[in-house]
Amino acid sequence: MSMGTEPSAADARRSAQREALLDAASEMLVHGGPDAISLRKLATRVGTSTMAVYTAFGGKEGLITALFEEAYDRLAAAEEAVPKNREPLRRLHDLALAYRSFALKNPSYYALMISSTLPVPDALRHGEAADGNPAARNVTGHRSYRIMLDAVTACVGEGSLPAHIGADVLADALWAAVHGLCSLELAGFHASAEAAEKRFNVTTGAILRGLLTPKGLKKLDGFSRAE
Amino acid sequence: MSMGTEPSAADARRSAQREALLDAASEMLVHGGPDAISLRKLATRVGTSTMAVYTAFGGKEGLITALFEEAYDRLAAAEEAVPKNREPLRRLHDLALAYRSFALKNPSYYALMISSTLPVPDALRHGEAADGNPAARNVTGHRSYRIMLDAVTACVGEGSLPAHIGADVLADALWAAVHGLCSLELAGFHASAEAAEKRFNVTTGAILRGLLTPKGLKKLDGFSRAE
């Protein structure tokens, strides 16, 4: 193994510290907004110097951008861990499970990704919307979104999902249902983990059935009979 | 008209000031968390005295509880404005539209209602969940939830929705989809109001179709043909 391909112990330490800083900052951001992020407090909490935080992120704005990048990268990594060789409809289901698992494991990152009140870094911004709403977030170019869209497109390609609605609208419909479930679960609206899981299964099953073509429904029923 | 039934000018002023205080406080809370709420700043912003804020809410904790009550009461009022004499399936659709309209008109109240990071007032709390998740929110007793649940129960009663899943699970499935849509729209994930509306129609239509019984599907198709 050469030094060029294997991370050194110093690299590993730097990477672990970066993750600890991001984890602590994500908590500060979602609980208190940008004003609650103090680079000095952050350094103290993680046991490093304020200078090290500046060196890693270039300041508060860079830190906030890094938080959003980390959040979307973790979601993408969770989706990339889903096996690619499954039937398109099963893959959609696997991706929904991976999304939920990501959200439950990374609640502070999930909260900042979908917050309607936190300022959006420029990298995620389309520009100000004409009607004074928050600027649209441009996540459609990120691989976390492309993976989902490609899976939907594969289902359209095999005729399981209809071609006339648009793969982007279909993907957003599935996303809305799965996000809504995760959001209500994280906010504590479900009385128990079992109650949350039952709602997850009923809701994701229903949104999929409601979107499928007759051919897609037949495929889905075939899976259920086989299980 | 007697003084007893008609609000006096002083009552109207007090009520308008209370609403102005709550509106300003809801913005402070969702942007900066509880630490960002300063009763003094709030009084200054609304043009009243800190003492008046104490008199109205008894302090910061009382103010936060009042914010959550105001949010759920506004949602309930929006749902109560929906005509009750429509077919059960149409009523579900009307309630979904009223929910979206409430969320878009009251973004700061909506953000605090469904936040996974803000502390939940005792009135909404079941108790700490065993697995360390945030304490469950007990909204099932509130009329904003009962109205939705009753509408679902009416659909089960006429055989449009299945009886074996449970009206609470069905209501939560519809809620997850509608909430997910509103949340993504408020966060700016949809490129335009038209894009958001298309996604709303496709997603609510799909979740409903996916849950309906064959009898319910026939009814729904009858509505579409009649329009």
Q: How far is B27 from B24, CA to CA, in rounded Å?
A: 5
Does residue B79 sit in the same domain as residue B53?
no
Q: How far is A51 from A12, CA to CA, in rounded Å?
A: 19
Rounded to 5 degrees, φ, ψ at B125 are: -105, 130
B202 min Cα distance to partner chain A (Å): 7
Task: Tell me the chain A residues in contact with residue B203 when contact means C-beta distances shorter than 8 Å.
Answer: 172-173, 176-177, 207
Place of tokens 């043009």: B47
Q: Is residue A118 part of a domain?
A: yes
Closest residue, chain A, to B181 (C-alpha): A176
Contact check, Cβ <8 Å, A136/B192: yes
Is the Cβ–Cβ distance between A206 and A181 less than 8 Å? no
Q: What's the pLDDT tens digit per position in B35-52?
A: 899 999 999 999 999 999
Does residue A12 sit in the same domain as residue A115?
no
Q: What's the pLDDT tens digit per position in B137-164?
A: 778 888 999 999 999 999 999 999 999 9
What CA–CA distances, in Å, run from A8 to A14, A57, B91? 10, 21, 63
Does residue A168 sit in the same domain as residue A209?
yes
Contact check, Cβ <8 Å, A120/B188: yes
Q: Which of A134, A170, A203 is closest, CB to CB, to B187?
A: A134
Does residue A121 sit in the same domain as residue A201?
yes
Within 13 Å, how many C-alpha atoms sit on residue B203's CB side?
37
Does the CB of A201 have a partner CB in chain B at under 8 Å?
no
Last residue of a domain, one of B33, B58, B83: B58
Is the Cβ–Cβ distance between A111 and A124 less than 8 Å? no
Does residue B122 sit in the same domain as residue B219?
yes
Q: What is the DSSP letter of B130?
A: T
Look at the alpha carbons of A11, A12, A17, A18 in this order and tell me if their dihedral is positive or negative. positive
A220: amino acid identity, one letter: L
Q: Which residues contact A114 (CB under 8 A, 6 or more apart)?
A: A179, A183, B183, B184, B187
Q: Residue A173, Cβ neighbours under 10 Å: how many?
A: 29
Is the Cβ–Cβ distance between B95 and B81 less than 8 Å? no
Residue range of the domain that includes B190: 69-226
Does the CB of A133 have a partner CB in chain B at under 8 Å?
yes
A118 min Cα distance to partner chain B (Å): 7
Rounded to 5 degrees, φ, ψ at A139 are: -100, -5
What CA–CA distances, in Å, run from B152 to A77, B3, B38, B92, B211? 38, 41, 42, 7, 11
- CATH classification at residue B6: 1.10.10
Is the Cβ–Cβ distance between A118 and A34 less than 8 Å? yes
B14 min Cα distance to partner chain A (Å): 29
Q: Is residue B6 part of a domain?
A: yes
Residue A217 has pLDDT above 70, yes or no: yes
Tokens of A199: 């709602």
Place of tokens 């949350």: A196
Does the CB of A41 have a partner CB in chain B at under 8 Å?
no
Tokens of B3: 């003084």
Q: pLDDT band for position B1 (50/70/90)?
A: very low
A180: amino acid identity, one letter: G
Q: Is residue A63 part of a domain?
A: no
Does residue A171 sit in the same domain as residue A96?
yes
Q: pLDDT band for position A3 (50/70/90)?
A: low
Q: What percent of chain B has pLDDT over 70?
A: 92
Task: Tell me the chain A residues in contact with residue B178 when contact means C-beta distances shorter than 8 Å.
Answer: 180
Does residue A84 sit in the same domain as residue A4?
no
Residue B136 has pLDDT above 80, yes or no: no
Contact check, Cβ <8 Å, A179/B175: no
Residue contacts between A and B (CB atoms, under 8 Å): 177
Q: What's the pLDDT tens digit per position in A177-187?
A: 999 999 999 99
Is the Cβ–Cβ distance between B171 and B150 less than 8 Å? no
Please report the DSSP string for B10-53 in residue order. HHHHHHHHHHHHHHHHHHHHHHH-GGG--HHHHHHHHTS-HHHH
**CA-wise closest residue to A69 among A125, A124, A24:** A124
Place of tokens 């004074």: A132
Does residue B168 sit in the same domain as residue B92?
yes
Q: Is residue B45 part of a domain?
A: yes
Predicted ipTM?
A: 0.91
Q: Which of A36, A107, A177 is closest, CB to CB, to B177?
A: A177
Does residue B145 sit in the same domain as residue B209?
yes
Q: What is the pLDDT of residue B134?
A: 46
Tokens of B160: 């449009």
Q: Is residue B152 part of a domain?
A: yes
Does residue B50 sit in the same domain as residue B89?
no
Is the Cβ–Cβ distance between A72 and A137 less than 8 Å? no
Q: Is residue A65 part of a domain?
A: no
Tokens of A226: 């086989």
Is the Cβ–Cβ distance between B104 and A129 less than 8 Å? no
Does the CB of B9 have a partner CB in chain A at under 8 Å?
no
Q: What is the pLDDT of residue B126?
A: 54
Q: Is residue B64 part of a domain?
A: no
Does residue B35 sit in the same domain as residue B80?
no
Is the Cβ–Cβ distance between B56 and B48 less than 8 Å? no
Mutate to test the interface with A, among B189, B190, B192 (most CBs of A within 10 A): B189
Within 13 Å, how many C-alpha atoms sit on residue A65's CB side?
12
Contact check, Cβ <8 Å, B179/A180: yes
**CA-wise closest residue to A219 among A138, A160, A132:** A160
Last residue of a domain, one of B13, B37, B58: B58
Does residue A50 sit in the same domain as residue A77?
no
Q: What is the pLDDT of residue A158?
A: 97
Q: What's the pLDDT tens digit per position in A62-95?
A: 999 999 999 999 999 999 999 999 999 999 999 9
Q: How far is A7 from A102, CA to CA, in rounded Å?
A: 26
Mutate to test the interface with A, among B114, B116, B128, B149 (most CBs of A within 10 A): B116
Rounded to 5 degrees, φ, ψ at B137 are: -90, 130
Instruction: Please provide the average confidence, as pLDDT, over all residues in chain A.
Output: 90
- Indicate the number of domains in chain B: 2
Q: Which residues contact B226 (CB under 8 A, 6 or more apart)?
A: none
Q: Is residue B63 part of a domain?
A: no
Contact check, Cβ <8 Å, B32/A33: yes
A51 min Cα distance to partner chain B (Å): 26
Does the CB of A86 have a partner CB in chain B at under 8 Å?
no
Task: Tell me the chain B residues in contact with residue A183 when contact means C-beta distances shorter than 8 Å.
Answer: 114, 116, 179-180, 183
Task: Tell me the chain B residues in contact with residue A137 when contact means C-beta distances shorter than 8 Å.
Answer: 187-189
**CA-wise closest residue to B213 among B89, B83, B104:** B89
Last residue of a domain, one of B58, B77, B103: B58
